[in-house]
Structures are given as structure tokens and as C-alpha cells.
Structure 1
């Protein structure tokens, strides 16, 4: 079931030539904000369509959770009529987003200059591995590679993992996707003021290095360096959920007030005043691993429920330790209706997440479900001004 877009980008049309995760996650955010996102797929479809599980081929859960709110059109852009159809669509589009290398777009006849010839004020956004002025420019990039090159496995190992490892989340794809959303919205604002479109490159490597390293430059910020870098609290071996007598709990004792309150809550009120390690945030940071270890030993003596009650009463930040078996029962998420259940027109009953945040005027939200491949091809081409004969000819030609 489709709903009228009410978000702040209602009326903005986006041509989405992206696949896999980084680009689709960016355009899904834009769709949630109200944009009309047209997903342009090759005949084989987005590669992640086939990643199981799913009730039908090409409608796997991973695909569905990165492509809600979009319409799908199939165009084989290696053929002239399909390319011409895309350029016809570009005439009414505000944004074109792609995530192959710029050289490949140029070979398809879809460079910025090619597209801008049909829509001069287009926002032409490329999401790819590396800035085009460096030696990595033409290299392929995937989330794992960018995580590794932007310090994440090194930091995981330094923080206590037995070996370097990637985060079990497509964190680079998601972060760079959000960076692209910010850049596209800023470009739309600039165009609103000036009438100017422009090309935007959003490189994964540079975006992630900046995102990660800001926490860990430390003394390397200065010349000459004051230390070897690294934020001790984030790298502490004991920075992890606390093991209780019957499970785990996530708590953070951080500022002076909270450390004092913690020791008072466990009946050791004098410790904060007498232990020199606790004197300031700086001294705690110098001894953070041993302090966290001592806190962890105390957590092991009580149940999770006891700690939740005790820490809330002491105004110390605490949250439940969730897994996929418990997250759907979180009382806060249930109260705000974060997980919704809907009837997909072809995939049956599904669970989805709602757009986070509350807007007083232009609330973003769910507009349509993830599309079957090419489900909207004919209607989109008709919107572009092609009659039935032209659509039939374009379909026959790819």
C-alpha cells in the first residue's frame, strides 16, 4: 500500500543507479524524507536481491531493508534506447546518485556533462571508493576493505580482540551513505538559493578515515606529537558490557557525579574522595582499564535486574544488553512503535523499522514497500513522456 509522501523532500525526484548497500541505504534515507526515488536496475537486478532468506527469489530480507520507499525500473544502460530513456527521465529529476566508478559512468555516456546537458541544474552524486585525485582512484572498494584501511580492525585488535577483525556491520557503507545524504541535501539547498546544480563525489576511504580517526588522533594532533595517539577509554580492554550474576548489562560511569554515585550505591562512598585515580577525568583516563576492571568485578556479584534498578536510582546511565532475540521486546521501542508490521503486496507479512525522529511539520515516514524488480518500469517511462509504442520499442531493445 502506497502512502502520500509527507516528508521535507516531498516533490524531489531522485534517479538511483546504486546497488548493494552504500548507495541504496543513502537513497532509502532520502525516500524516508519524502523523495520520489526511482531505482534503476540492470536486467539482472541489484546483486543483493538474491541474498537469502526471502519468500520469493530476488526479494531477500537484506534487499528489502535497504530499498523501502522506492520504485523500480529495469534499463540495460549498455543499450542506446535504455540510455536515452534514462536521460529522458533525468530531465524531470533533481538528483542522480550512482556508486560505480566515474570512468564507468563516462563509458555508458552518463557522465556529469552528459546528464547536465539534459538537466543543467541536476545534483549528480557519486558514491565510490576513493577521491579521484589520488593513486587509488580507479580501485574497487567494498565495506570490508574500507574498514581495514580506515583503522577499524587495527583498533579492534588494539582494544583486545584476539585478532584484527571487521565490525559485524556494514558500518562503512552506512556511514558513507549518511554522509551522502547530508551532501545531497546541502546541494539541494544551494540550488534552491542559486539555481545551480553540481557534481558531488563522496569517497568512502576519506570519509571513513575522517570519521574514525577523529576519536584517536589525541597527541598526534600536535606537532611535535604529544603521544602516540589513541583514546584510552575507547581502547580499554574492559570497555564492554558488564557480566552480572545472571547475564549482562550496559552501563557507563563517566563523569565525576556518576563515579561518586556509583561508589555510594555499592556502599563504598569514601572511595571517590580517597582514591587518587578517581580525582579527575584525566586521571581516570590514565587508569581506565584497571578502573573498569574493578567495576566489572562488582557487577558480577548482583543480578542484571538488581543493577538496572540500582543504577537508575543513582542516575547512572544504563541500558539493557540486547540481542536479536530481545530487541523486539524493548519497552521503549514497543511504546513508540519503532517496529511496524505491514502486508507487503507480494511478500506477505513483514516487519520494518520506522523513520527515527519526530518533525513538527513534515514528518518523514514509510511511503511504499521495497519493489519487485522492474515493477514500475512502464509507469515511470510513461511519466517521462514515452507513449505505449515507444515503451514497447524500448523494452524490446533492452
Structure 2
């Protein structure tokens, strides 16, 4: 494991990276918006997270060592400054508007109705700051009759067809065991904002960017699963056959689990030959893409039957020698000790100023000239309120009035 580094010693005011000089207002909660703005922060943006006096709901998640500093909050809020404001109060809303006035980007997942009631809708803020890139992301399009419906990850997985894909593959419309919609949409927010920033830099003019989660996830799902319905009239059913076939899963080896994936005709011949089954190497069922499409289930069954005859290491050696795609199944607990992840710095053990020693998941991006950096770890609720309000020109008395409703997190 890497040596523990002291994150508290890294100066929070130092901003480096491709987005150096870009100010982002994070008016988002839970995972999707905060994860997107953390990515922008990793790339060098100055991210100011506006939270209600009770904090972002993510701060309530368990496990946690101290109130408001749950594991999930630590994983989506680094490289930010936390400002706690009551947006329903005149002073809190005025401070938020002052922050927006000089910002480059605002990201929010508040529902359209709430944004209009607070005067934080795009039209109002674009009048205040014409260069603002305003990104709103919610479950459904803002111009639809579902605009103000609550939408968590599971709702979006259901409404976008993801749960149906699980039904087609497993027989039950279950949810993916990860907050897939939140994280895919977070990545979509990040690249959409970057595109709008390029336009802003070229023209001096901002724009509204909307990321409706259900639409985003349906588009994501249909890349391969529109399949035969890509054509009109359809040339086949919905669903990407290779993924939908029973048996499309990791296989049990003599001592563990692995993904053994002979993909091409060459791979298949090499696999069955090395496995001691030359009779299957040139089996017409697997000889070309058209035949395989009809017999994927049988191909997977043959691989599964052979997999248990050797250890995971033995299969790794065979597949490596024959350039056959292969990977052992990583147990998540092992990631923190796997040299592949620790040597790259992706998983790093560091010291948090208030939470002590913890394991941080760093950015996986590798940019040669402007690498992502971690300048400060997840802040406590309202940690930077006084600092940021002072930058806005608020007096100590005004700051005290604005912050009096913020609970202590110590």
C-alpha cells in the first residue's frame, strides 16, 4: 500500500490543471451533480459547493466517523469549498446570486419548479451573468409533463429500460448493483459542460445545458440494444444478442472466478486447442459471426465446462500466451491491495484534516500536461462559508448573520 500522505498540508488555494481559472458553482445534491463537479474540480476548476444549513443529503449516509462526513460524501466532494446558505432567506439568496454573478458554470439537479420559485432558473441567472454555463440535470426533460417528478437512480433505471434489460438477461427486472444512472449522467454533465465552456471561451456567451437522466440513460442503453429495431421495418428483435444470452457471465475456475472471452474466430480456435478440445476449435457453430450469433449460449456453456479444469493462474497463462482476452474477477476488497491500482495512485491512503486516515479514490485520468490533482479533500459542512463570503465583500457582521443557522459539524 502507498505510504500515507498528508492531504491537509496541500494548500487549498492552489488551483492547477486544464480548468485553472474556471469557477464552478455546485448547487447539486446526492451523487450525480456532486460527482460531476468533483471531476471538474480534479481538472483544476475552483468549485464552490452551496449547501443548505442541514447539508447535502449525501452527508447523512453511512458509514461515517463524524456527523456529516460519510464515506459517500468523501468520494464525491473533494476539490471543493463548502458554503452553507439558506437560499430561502434574503441574505442567503443574495450571497448565492453574487457567487453566480462571477461564475463560469453552475450545476444543479434541483427540480425546475423549485429553481423558478427561488429565482435560480436559467433565464433569471443568464440575465445576471450572460457568460454563465448553466447545467441542470434531473430525472426527466424540463419541458415534459414529468419535469417535476422525483427521480432517484432506481427510478431512472426503470424508466430508461435498464431494469428491462436485466429482465431480459436474468428473468427479473432488477436494478444494477451500482448507482449506474447517477454516475453515467455525471459523466455526461462533465463533457457537456466542457463543450459549453469551449463555446463560452470562443464567444463570451454562456448557454443552458440540460441533462435529462432518463433520456441520457435510454440513449446509453440503445447504443447496442436498439439492435434489429435500428431498421424500419425491424431486421430483428430489440437486444444485443451476445449480452442477452444466458451464460454471459464470469466462469468458475478450479480455484476462483474469471472472465475468459475468446472473441474472434482466431481466439476461439486458440482457446479450444489450448484447452485440449481440438474438436471444438473448428466447430461450425462458432466459425463466424453469423453462426456465433445463433449459438452464443452453446459457446458460453463449452467455455464454462472447461474453465473448472484449471486454476485461474493457469488460465491466465494460457490466455496470455495465445492473446485471448482474459481477466480474473477482482473482489472489491482486494483492490486496495492490488499493485495495479495502488502503484498508479488510483487508490491512495491519505490523512483527512478531520476524518483521519482514509482511502481516497483519485481520478483515473492521465493527462501529460495538465494532470488531475487533489488540492483539498472533502470539506466539512460550511467550512469555507466565511472565507467565500469575505471574498464577496461581506462584513464580519453580515457573515455572522448569514451563518448563524448553520449547525456545528465539530
**TM-superposed deviation, 1:270:** 5.0
State the partner residue of 1:329: 337
CA contact (8 A) 1:82 1:397 kept: no
**TM-superposed deviation, 1:281:** 1.7
Q: Would you say 1:382 and 2:400 are equivalent positions? A: no
- Say which of 218, 229, 233 aligns to 1:209: 218
CA contact (8 A) 2:53 2:405 kept: no
State the partner residue of 1:280: 288
State the partner residue of 2:106: 96
State the partner residue of 2:5: none
CA contact (8 A) 1:79 1:397 kept: no
Partner SS state of residue 175, structure 2: coil
- Say which of 15, 26, 41 aligns to 1:5: 15
Q: Distance in 2 between matches of 1:216 and 1:111?
A: 35
Q: Distance in 1 between matches of 2:253 and 2:280?
A: 22
Q: Which runs of 4+ in 1 moved over 4 A?
A: none
Q: Distance in 1 between matches of 2:316 and 2:339?
A: 14
TM-score normalised by L of structure 2: 0.93
Partner SS state of residue 376, structure 2: coil
**TM-superposed deviation, 1:85:** 0.6
TM-score normalised by L of structure 1: 0.96
Q: Distance in 1 between matches of 2:143 and 2:81?
A: 34
Q: What is the root-mean-square deviation of aligned Cα atoms in Å?
A: 1.5
**TM-superposed deviation, 1:135:** 2.2
Partner SS state of residue 14, structure 1: strand
Q: Would you say 1:269 and 2:265 are equivalent positions? A: no
Partner SS state of residue 64, structure 2: coil
State the partner residue of 1:112: 122
State the partner residue of 1:365: 373
CA contact (8 A) 1:30 1:181 kept: yes
Q: Would you say 1:192 and 2:206 are equivalent positions? A: no
Query: What is the correspondence of 1:219-258 to structure 2 with a 5 Å cutoff?
Result: 219-258=228-267
CA contact (8 A) 2:271 2:281 kept: no
**TM-superposed deviation, 1:112:** 1.6
Which structure 1 segments of 5+ residues have no match? none
Q: Distance in 2 between matches of 1:54 and 1:94?
A: 33
State the partner residue of 1:42: 52
Which structure 2 segments of 5+ residues have no match? 1-7
State the partner residue of 1:351: 359
Q: How many residues align?
A: 396
State the partner residue of 1:122: 132
Query: What is the correspondence of 1:21-170 to structure 2 with a 5 Å cutoff?
Result: 21-161=31-171, 163-170=172-179
**TM-superposed deviation, 1:372:** 0.3
Do the aligned partners of residues 245 and 223 (structure 1) sit closer, same or farther apart at CA in structure 2, a change above 3 Å counting? same
Q: Distance in 1 between matches of 2:289 and 2:392?
A: 61
CA contact (8 A) 2:348 2:361 kept: yes
Q: Distance in 2 between matches of 1:229 and 1:272?
A: 31
Q: Distance in 1 between matches of 2:64 and 2:393?
A: 35
Q: Distance in 1 between matches of 2:256 and 2:279?
A: 29
